[in-house]
Chains A and B, each alone.
Chain A
């Protein structure tokens, strides 16, 4: 059965990379073999986002996070180091932690009592001298994945060897710094929302690479009812300096992400993503270069996907309740699209805000973000519904034959030009009306899916 899948993927690679047609089979959105291959070739190889350092600030704090169906206890050990402990006892496999978060000095298995400390070391077995006298405890600590952090973001990688997180992120760090460093650092305001629904994870990931056009069609009502109106900075539909940076490369030279940035119409106007002036002292100008700072200064929105499944965006001047006279603040929605099966995805949605800003402001960010995004958000409720239908259309055999188009801004279809004056890494396009961000995601995907193991 895998032969057919490999054939389909090989054909897609020819179409997508060799011939640059921007075409793919619909079937990629719902297929058992593709799901299995994704787990093996992507989710067990790449650096996967697990959460924010601010979720586990103290020694012993943990959250349980998932990569595909695998569960890891992401915990700050007694030595202050963050680890990713596989949530399963090394004796008979029993999960040790049944909660989603908490604080623990140790975990004791309820089955036969094997006990582990918060560094994952096996520290005791009941009646050891009677039946396991010579067993070396140090050989039976919990299985772990590599865990590294960047700008307060925690990532895990199932591969023992290979690139560091920093190498994997490569040029993308330049853009992460604008969001997670120049803002003075971000922290979570509340626990993430979680939902499981029958749609493919790649639909969420590709959209947040920079799919601007859907916001104008699918989310038309957000503007009609003034959830997101014409902002103070004058960019309702398109501003002259809106850009999309695609083909941002990791340390291995492969595309790792793209980012869309909407900017103030006039160069001299400062937007700082719509943060209120009285909160600007929380920003950290000296933590980044002058070029990065200027991008933050003029940014009205940022939206990105980091391959494979970490996405986020900040969008100025929104409200959850247009009839009430409450302050408009930026939406801050960050998420992981975790594949659980063919056409089945668990979505984790975090609301975050710059650490140094007032608690009143953060509370308002939380209200506005949940009113627009997440499971009951007035914008995202429409996205989920359509993604579900797409995955349903992709379920059958005919979907292997049906090609779908992702051609916006292909050189043969519409020449976009390049912003030569752009100071950051990646390919900067002078518009957001394109599909090159999505193609960046899919190029990396098809490279990984057709890579020899």
Chain B
């Protein structure tokens, strides 16, 4: 059992690192292949209020929310020659860390792993010398199949209630 959990940890962390590499390489099509058909992806609006994260993340208010079909068009649009946001020579580098497995369960013959991880995203525009930093806690659910892992759920809790960036054309 201990070996199983260790194996899952390696599989899941490997998935997250590989996903980050695909996104940082603008391989959005390949990223789509990592998404479960029933993906639930959301970045809620955060407000500086109350005492806890739960107080600050407002129910039913989002900056980005969608499933696989949402992202399929999104990615197609970015790839079009008039998909300007993705033509601005932005470079992103995602640093994924602090991966903690919270829960493991089985459903319909698939193993699901609920985990949290930190995202540090550094964005560099064109030849500019300054960079933009964004950080977040991600609550993910990964679906572990025999031969691959898929992203089933992601909930991105930004550290920013005032986002220090001109757009978010890429998923976090």
Say whether B165 faces chain A, with CB atoms less than 8 Å apart: yes
**Which residues 358-412 in A have Cβ within 8 Å of B in the complex?**
363, 366-367, 370-371, 374-376, 378, 380-382, 384-389
Say whether A123 faces chain B, with CB atoms less than 8 Å apart: no
Interchain CB contact under 8 A, B72 and A323: yes
Say whether B70 faces chain A, with CB atoms less than 8 Å apart: yes
Interchain CB contact under 8 A, B47 and A376: no
Interchain CB contact under 8 A, A384 and B167: yes
| Chain B hits for A220, CB < 8 A | 82
Whole-angstrom CA separation of A218 from B85 in the bound complex: 10
B115 to chain A, nearest CB (A): 24
Known: A101-B49, A102-B49, A218-B84. A381 touches B168 (CB 8 A): yes
Known: A98-B48, A221-B83, A386-B84. A376 touches B164 (CB 8 A): no
| Chain B hits for A382, CB < 8 A | 83-85, 167
Interface residues of A toward B: which range? 35 or more
Say whether A346 faces chain B, with CB atoms less than 8 Å apart: yes
Residues 64-97 of chain B, each 1 if its beta carbon lies under 8 Å from chain A, else 0 = 1111011011101100101111001000000000
A95 to chain B, nearest CB (A): 12
Whole-angstrom CA separation of A322 from B69 in the bound complex: 8
Say whether A100 faces chain B, with CB atoms less than 8 Å apart: yes
Interchain CB contact under 8 A, B70 and A320: yes
Known: A100-B48, A191-B58. A321 touches B70 (CB 8 A): yes
Interchain CB contact under 8 A, A225 and B84: no
Residue of B84, B88, B161 ringed by the most chain A CB atoms within 10 A? B84
A302 to chain B, nearest CB (A): 24
> Considering only CB atoms, which chain A residue lies closest to B80 in the complex?
A221
Interchain CB contact under 8 A, A195 and B165: yes
Whole-angstrom CA separation of A370 from B76 in the bound complex: 18
| Chain B hits for A199, CB < 8 A | 166
- Interface SS of chain A: mixed
B20 to chain A, nearest CB (A): 19
Known: A99-B50, A220-B82, A221-B77. A385 touches B88 (CB 8 A): yes
A99 to chain B, nearest CB (A): 4
Say whether B100 faces chain A, with CB atoms less than 8 Å apart: no
| Chain A hits for B66, CB < 8 A | 320-321, 371
| Chain A hits for B85, CB < 8 A | 381-382, 384-385
Say whether A224 faces chain B, with CB atoms less than 8 Å apart: yes
| Chain A hits for B48, CB < 8 A | 98-100
The listed residue (B62, B64, B70, B163) touching A195 by CB distance below 8 A is B163
| Chain A hits for B168, CB < 8 A | 375-376, 381
11 pairs from A and B in contact (CB 8 Å cutoff): A101-B49, A190-B58, A191-B61, A194-B161, A218-B82, A225-B80, A320-B70, A321-B70, A382-B84, A382-B167, A386-B84
The 4 closest A-B pairs by CB, nearest first: A197-B166, A190-B61, A381-B167, A381-B85
